[in-house]
Structure 1
Amino acid sequence: MQARSRRLIACAAAVLATALLPTAPSAVAESNGGTRVMPLGDSITEGTQVPGGYRIGLWQRFGSGGYRVDLVGSQFNGPDSLGDHDHEGHPGWRIDQIDANIVSWLGNTTPRTVLLHIGTNDVLQNYDVSNAPARLSALVDKITATVPNADVFVATIIPLSNASQESLARNFNATIPGMVQSKANAGKRVRLVDMHSALTTADLIDGVHPTAGGYDKMAAKWYEALQSVPGSIGTPTAARQLVGVPSGRCADVPAASTTNGTQLQLWDCHGGSNQSWTYTSSKQLVVYGNKCLDAYGWGTTNGTQAAIWDCTGGANQQWNLNSNGTITSAQSGLCLDAYGAGTANGTKLVLWSCTGATNQQWKF
C-alpha cells in the first residue's frame, strides 16, 4: 500500500512538473498576399548550418526584382533579414517521408509554385537508392494531382563530398531530366532545375550542407528558373527609387534591415532591395514586398519617425504623391522630410509640417 502511494505521488509530481514547463511559442504563418511559393525538401531547404539557407538570397532577389512573393509551409525559421520565414524543409527526411505528408501540406497552403529539392537523405541513409527515382516520380505526380495549376520545379540534388555517396547522387540525378520531360510532355507543369551543376564540393560547409555562399548560388539558380516561367512568382511591380531632390540620395532602409520600426535614412543610391519602393493602389509605399512606409507609432507631430512596418492597411501607412514633389501622410498631412535639411548619408527621415523647402521634395 505504501509503495502504491509513493507511485501515485510520483506520478502527480511528474504531471505537475510537466504542466509547469514553459511552452515554446508557435510560429504564425507570415503572409503578404503575394504569389504563394513553397520551398520543399529536407535540411538543405530548412537551412542547416546557415538558418534560412537559400531562402535568404531568394527573398532578397524577389524584393530587388519587384516580385511580391509569399513563402508558405508548416515550418518557420531564419534570420530577421529574411522577410518571410515559412517553408517546408524537414531535416533528415527522405522522399517517402515528404510523400506521406505532401497532400495535407499542399491543401493547407495551396501554393502557386513548388520548389522541390529532395533525395539527399535517401543517398546518405543508403535507403533503397535504386528505387529513389521511382519514389521521386510518384511524389511529383502526387504534387501535380493535388495542385494541378502549380508550377513544380524539380531540382537535381547538390554535390556530396563523400565520393561513393556522390556517385550515387549522380546516378539519381541522371534519371531526373527524363522523368521531368515525360511529365511535361503529358501536359503537367513540371520544370527541371540543374542544381547539381550550380555548386561544387568547395561550396559545402560539412560535406553535405552549403556554406552561405553555396546557399546563395542555390538562390540564384532558383531565381533564374522562376524568372523563366511567367507567372510562377507573379508579375514584377514597378519598384522605383525615392530620391531626395537636394541630396540626390535615396530613401534607404539602414543595413537592409527588415525589423519593424527601423527608421529610414538618406543614402547613396545603389539599386538594392532596401531602396526599391512600390506605390500601390492603396496608397502604400512598399519595400521588400511586405514592409510599408509607416508613420511610427501613428505619430502626427513634427519629428515623427518615417519607419518600416508590416503592412496593415492603416491610415498611418497611406501616402499622397503630390505634383509638387512632396509626399504627405494621408493621416496627418505632414510631409516626408530629410531632417534638418540634411543631405549627407545617414540623414534621418521624419514627418514635418510642409514648408515648401527642397528637403521635402522627392523624385519617384
Structure 2
Amino acid sequence: MATSPETSLAILDDYANVAPKHFKHIPNLKIDTFPETLDPSTPSGLEALAKRLEPYPVVSCMRERTAFPSELIQKLPNLKLLLSSGNRNAALDLQALKERGVPVTGTKGDLPQTQSEGFDPPPPPGYSAVNQHAWALLLSLCGRIPQDDRLLKTEAGAWQNGLGVSLGGKTLGLVGLGKLGTAMAKVGVLGFGMKIVAWSENLTQEKADDAAVGAGLEKGTFKAVSKEELFKGADVVSLHLVLSDRSKGVVGERELGWMKKSGLLVNTSRGGLIDEQALIESLKKGGIKGVALDVFWREPIPRDSPWRSVDSWAKSEVVLSPHMGYVNEGTMNRWYQEQAEELERWLKGEELRIRMA
C-alpha cells in the first residue's frame, strides 16, 4: 500500500515500557507511547481517548487493557491498522473494525526463529505462564507470604504471626476444565496429591476422563460433579472459564455461601466471573478463609477501588496481583516483536500473518 514518508504509531498501555525497542528499527516510523490507560466507558473517557488517538493511522494495544467500542472506532477516521496481542481480544469491537475496513492483527507468542538479545524467549509450547501464576498466588495465600513479608520488613519483633495452610490431600475444585483448568489440576495431583473435582455447564465424566488422560494421568483422576457439590466440597476453588454472557457472575452470593469457612478462592481468568459485591460482602464477614485475585472488574483498578484498601475491611485473607498471569518477560517481548513484524508486512503491502478482523 502507498504510505506517507512518515507513519505515526501510538503504543497504548505498555506499563513496563517493553514495546518501543521492537519498533525503533522501522524506517520513517514516529513512535508515541501512552502508558496511562483511558476508559472509554464514560463520555469524558471516550472523548479523551478519541482525542489522544485521532491523529494515528497505526495503534498498538495490549489485549483487554484499552477497550475499542464502536463509539470510539467511529471517532478515529485516520485509523488504518490495529496491532493487538494474543489471538483474541474481548475489548475490541471486531465487527465495527471490520465494517470500517481496519485490519486487526494478533500474535501467536511462538518461539522466534532468531532470538533477540536482551530478553528471555517466550515459554515453550504447552507451558502455561497463567498456570504458574495461579499456583504462585495460591501458594502465597496458603503460606501467608505477602503478609509475613510485609510484617518482617515493617514491624520490629514480628515473627510467625499466623498459621499456614497445607494443601496435601485436599480437594481442588476447578470451575472450567479446559487447557488452563487441566494444567492447574495436573499440578495439584502431581505436586500436592490433591483430589480433583470439576464443573462447567457442559462438562461430563467422559470429558473429564479425556482431560486427565490427555494430561498423562489415569482415567478417573478428575471427577465431574455438580456445581453445588464442587463449591461445598472443595478446599480450593479455582476459576478457569472464558468470560461470556453465560459465565458472567457464575460465582455469586449463593456459591460463596456454599463454600467451606476454610475455603480458598483463586481467580486468574476474568474478574467478571465473580459477583464483585457478593465477594466483598463475604470477605467483610470472613465468609471464606481467603481469596487470591489476579483479575478485576475494572482494570487497572481505580484509585478509589475498595481493593486498594482491602486490608482495612476484609476479615478473610486476601492476596492480589495486577493481572500478571501472562505478563512475563518472554511473552511480552515476543508479542511486541510480532506486532512490529506485522507492521512491517503492512507497510510493505504484504499479507498479515494473523488476522482477528
Which structure is larger by alpha-carbon Rg, 1 or 2?
1
Q: Per chain length, whose mean CA-contact separation is higher, i.e. which structure has more relative contact order (CA < 8 Å, sep 6+)?
A: 2
TM-score above 0.5, yes or no = no
The two structures have a TM-score, normalised by structure 1, of: 0.31
